Amino acid sequence: MHQENKITFLLFLFLLFKVYTVVPQEIIAERYQYLSPKPGSINHNPETEITIRFGERIDSKTVKDEFLMVEGEISGKHKGCLSIGDDLLTLTFKPDSVFAYNERIKIRMEKGIKTKTGKILPEVEYWFSVKEKAELDPLPDAENNLLHPINSESNIMRSDKSESLLFEDLLFCKILINKSPASGNLFTTLNGVPGHYIYVFNNHGVPIYVKKFQEQVFNLKPQPKGQLTYYDLNLECYIVLDSLLNPVDTLTMKNGYTPHTHEAVILENGHILMFAYDPQLVDMSKLVEGGNKYATVTGLVIQELDQKKNLLFQWRSWDHINITDSHADLLASAIDYIHGNSLDADTDTTLILSSRNLSEITKINRLNGNIIWRLGGKKNEFSFMNDPRGFSMQHSASILNNGNLILFDNGVGFSPAYSRGIEYKLDEKSFIVELINEFRHIPDFYTHIKGNIQRIFNGNSLVYWGHLPFISEFDQSNNLTFSATFELDLFPDYRVFRSDWEPGLFTLSTDTLNFRQVYLGNIETRSFDIINHSDKAIAITSINNNGDFFITEPLPIEISSGNRRTVGISFSTRKPGHIMDTLNICYETDSTMVNRQLYALAESVLPNGIENPSNSEASIYANPADGFYHLKLSRPESFHIRVLSVFGNIILEDRILESDSFTFNLCNKSDGLYLIELKMTDPDLRKIFKVIKYSK
């Protein structure tokens, strides 16, 4: 009898333990700040990693692989590596082998790992399940359209490199309004049948950096620390470029997900935010009448990676948002129920997600994955002030430094139909949003897909009007300061950004050459340096301008790695007056064009004897003369003077120390034209005069 009681008691303890370990998935989650996969969640990929965050800094010396037990019902026990993220808070377990399809995975954390304060992490046990293997219907993305490029013309000085990507062929943009917009360049990607481009251009529509691809590229975006990112459709990942245009990283996602073209955010601390579209086989007949029993429903998965690409955070729409919250056609065979299109880290602990097919902006807690609030859509929690229209199928939502929310409202389904940029004042305590500004084109534009808005560093707002080929910039009084357009066969395919980023492949020692006063018909030369910052040799292959200023040496100009070359630019014109020009100094290869601009200024004047020394460094008089010529400088300095015949023979040469004048005699020389070359101590100043000698 005593033995029977003992057996009964042990059976009771077993059942009690069994209930404790199987049932309380929600209670289990409360012991830890964050667990991923979420306890009890389903339909994960076989490549899934385990992420655990207690909420306090971990003592790395206590982290051992054996403290985490991972076992699949089919695949069995899994060995792997347990590591700490660079936040010193998050533990990630990377299995050595993938899980099996359609199996439940049991996770058990044993006691042993401690926090920095000596607290022992509690034991925890939970499960998640891996999805079934299934063939899914593809989901077309209507926002990725193919377009076609155009050509334009410019005046050029060029080396013979006809196979290169040429500056003269890349003037795709037309500037309509340019009234003191923000400084910096504009960034986008262009896609068309003849080619696919990264495209950076300035406020005058001049290309600064262009790269051509054989496959589509998307979403060129300036990132912190001088980096750029773009999505390569062929590689299915984001490429990171440094300021020297070197690819320095590729951004992919964990757990078997492929990042989507819509978003990549590099944070100041080097962490990376991306999201993936996640198609799953769903029996929609259980959710809506007439639903497809074998529908492919696409959700959204957000991830945060640290600098070493450890997974710190994963958020799945399946765990937080119902399919029936969507405005998509729920009777279709392929349903994109979320369609996330932008992500913003508004604080260190929260995210702002824009979901087009929910018509919703969602604020998410990055610490635990919980939804903080939902603005817009079927589950809207806010009241709208001054904006009964609201927004629909929006893009590009972000929180400004003042706490306001901006977004691009496509306005799909509204009457009258128009799109706009919106700025809302957010009251997150009272759940009220107040429209305080909107940005509309005159006349109104309506774009049912794409588009973005950016608050620029000077307070202006940049708007790209989606599938319409227009870019607008508004100042803080809503005045249009900038407008640009592209031809219908080639224009930005998704977004446009503004940034002060410049390509650093090579730079110029100055941005301006000032020739000051130059006698009509004379030739003057100034010099500047081109500095190659890359680890390989480059060649300047063309200089594009309007023709009054010209280079003094043949192209291409080869510059070895890390070195510089001094280049002379001469000026000569037959028209008097102030002359200004922009020289586009280009590096061109078969796939890349980099342009640095040099501004040149001169005042062409008629020769009249003595020149005003306040406006010029040097002048020669009288001219013409019978043999005696007087050189006058604006100030005493050392200089080198040479007199040459028209055949290049040196007639006279002298070096003068610290003087403001010099007289030379050509009386015993033949009548005719002579060239006077004057080199000053300033290495950028080299003047060439023409003098005429005649006998009385």
318-339 pLDDT per residue, tens:
999 999 999 999 999 999 999 9
Tokens for 576? 């008097």
Q: Say how far apart CA 208 and CA 595 lie, in whole Å.
A: 5
Cα dihedral 45, 50, 56, 60 in deg (nearest 10):
-140
For residues 374 and 138, the model is more confident at 374
Instruction: Please report which confidence band the pLDDT of residue 21 belongs to, taking 50, 70 and 90 as the band edges.
Output: very low
Sequence-ordered list of residues with C-beta below 8 angstroms from that of 77, at least 6 positions apart, any chain:
69, 70, 71
Predicted pLDDT of residue 572: 84
Structure tokens that stand for 176 in this block: 């309509």
The CATH number of the structural domain formed by 19-129 is 2.60.40.1220
C-beta separation of 395 from 356 below 8 A? yes
Q: Which residue has the higher pLDDT, 491 or 327?
A: 327
Q: Closest Cα partner for 397 from 271, 273, 263, 198?
A: 263
The Cα 424–Cα 269 span in angstroms is 28
Q: Is the pLDDT of residue 36 over 70?
A: yes
Pairing of strands 76-77, 50-53: unpaired
**Are the CB atoms for 39 and 25 separated by under 8 Å?**
yes
Summary mean pLDDT of the chain: 89
> pLDDT by residue (tens digit) across 655-679?
888 888 888 888 888 888 888 888 8
Do the Cβ atoms of 503 and 245 come closer than 8 Å?
A: yes
Instruction: Give per-residue burial for 641-667: e unless 16+ CB within 10 Å, then b.
Output: bebbeeeeeeeeeeebeeeeebebebe
| DSSP helix/strand/coil, 420 | strand
In sequence order, the β-bridge partners of residue 282 are: 295
* Region label for 339, one of left (φ > 0), alpha (ψ between -120 and 50) or beta (otherwise): left
Give start-end residues of each CATH 2.60.40.1220 domain in the chain: 19-129
314 contacts: CB under 8 Å, gap ≥ 6: 36, 37, 51, 254, 255, 301, 302, 303, 304, 369
Query: 182-237: per-residue pLDDT in tens?
Result: 999 999 999 876 678 999 999 999 999 999 998 899 999 999 999 999 999 999 99
User: Which residues on neighbouring strands pair with residue 662, listed in sequence order?
Assistant: 631
Say if residue 4's pLDDT is above 80: no
Of 539, 530, 535, 534, the closest CA to residue 588 belongs to 539
Q: In this structure, what token pair is assigned to residue 203?
A: 């406020």
pLDDT score of 460 more than 50: yes
CATH number attached to the domain at 610-693: 2.60.40.3080
Instruction: Check whether 404 has a pLDDT greater than 90.
Output: yes
Nearest to 444 by CA among 424, 423, 472: 472
**Residue limits of CATH 2.60.40.10 in the chain:** 506-604
Least Cα distance to 177 among 430, 385, 473, 436 occurs for 473
Q: Rounded distance, CA 120 to CA 293, Å?
A: 48
Measured in degrees and rounded to the nearest 5, phi and psi for residue 283 equal -85, 95
Which residues of the chain are in CATH 2.60.40.3080 domains?
A: 610-693
Q: How is residue 210 annotated by DSSP?
A: E
Please identify which residue in the block is written with the tokens 């199928």: 393
How many residues make up the chain in this entry? Answer: 696
Q: Is 367 exposed, middle or buried (0-12, 13-18, 19+ CB in 10 A)?
A: middle
pLDDT at 564 over 90: yes
- Residues facing 645 on adjacent strands: 674
Query: CA-to-CA distance for 225 and 266, rounded, in angstroms?
Result: 10
Residue 489 has a pLDDT of: 75
Is the predicted pLDDT of residue 16 greater than 50, yes or no? no
- Alpha carbon 101 to its chain centroid, in Å, reads 38
Question: Torsion angle of alpha carbons 468, 469, 475, 480, nearest 10°?
Answer: -90
Alpha carbon of residue 216 to chain centroid: 16
Distance of alpha carbon 426 from alpha carbon 676, whole angstroms = 71
The whole-angstrom separation of Cα 463 and Cα 408 is: 8
Task: Tell whether the model's pLDDT for residue 20 goes beyond 80.
Answer: no
User: Structure tokens of 32?
Assistant: 């830890």
- Both structure tokens of 519: 């006698």
Pairing state between β 592-605 and 512-519 = parallel
Residue from 27, 37, 47 nearest 124 by CA: 27
CATH number of 506-604: 2.60.40.10
pLDDT over 50 at 610, yes or no? no
- pLDDT of res. 518: 87
The three-state secondary structure class of 53 is: strand
* DSSP 8-state secondary structure symbol assigned to residue 510: -
Asked if the bond preceding 492 is cis, omega within 30° of 0, the reply is no
Cα–Cα distances in angstroms (integers) from residue 498 to residues 178, 209, 297, 341, in the given order: 15, 14, 35, 19
Residue 455 scores a pLDDT above 90: yes
Q: Which two tokens stand for residue 182?
A: 């923000």
Say whether 578 sits in a helix, a strand or coil: strand
**Phi, psi torsion values for 370, nearest 5 degrees:** -70, 150
Structure confidence at residue 120 (pLDDT):
95
| pLDDT for res 141 | 54
Strands, E assignment, 78-233: 80-84, 90-95, 104-109, 124-129, 156-158, 173-178, 185-192, 195-201, 207-213, 217-223, 227-232
3-state secondary structure of 168: helix
The angle at the Cα of 175, spanning 171 to 177, to the nearest 5 degrees, equals 170
Chain segment 68-105, per-residue pLDDT in tens: 999 999 999 999 999 999 999 999 999 999 999 999 99
Cα 534 to chain centroid distance, Å, stands at 21
